[in-house]
Amino acid sequence: MLFIWSLIMFSVIGGSYEQTIEPNQQEVYAEVGSNVLLSCNYSSADSLLWYKQSPGSAPQYLLLIPHYSGIGQRADSLDSRFSGKLNKEKTRVDLEISSAEVTDSALYYLNVPGEDHLTEKSLSNTMNTL
């Protein structure tokens, strides 16, 4: 069974500088049981947050990736199949999902802490499951 993930691009404006986050792929197709890598490039950030939005649900916080460590800190309720890391040299941040399940099919958002663009973006996007 195939299913897809969608990544959303954010452009965050704060103060006198602009932070951008761009997905490396808009959609990722995967089979149940496979490992999935969702990646985005970012311009600058002290920390980054990954969220998941399943169809018909509000966005759910997954993990925080602080720039100083580059390693994702999962939400307490998050399945250990999800992990995140930051590549500072390539300004890339990854969300890794091992042994993908059908319930993992969703929109995945990357955001900068303190910005409220997540809700605005999530309302205008939908997810298709194959």
Residue-wise pLDDT for 15-74, tens only, equals 335 667 788 877 888 888 999 899 888 887 778 888 888 889 988 889 988 877 777 777
- Give yes or no for a contact between 95 and 62, defined as CB atoms under 8 angstroms apart: yes
Work out the average pLDDT over 4-21.
50
Domain over 2-122 is classified CATH 2.60.40.10: yes
Could you give phi then psi for residue 119, rounded to 5 degrees?
Answer: -65, -45
103 secondary structure, DSSP code: G
Q: Where are the chain's structural domains?
A: 2-122
User: For residue 125, what are the contacts with CB-CB under 8 A and spacing of at least 6?
Assistant: 6, 8, 107
Work out the average pLDDT over 5-22.
51
In this prediction, residue 130 carries a pLDDT of 32
The pTM of this model reads 0.73
Distance CA 10, CA 75 (A): 22
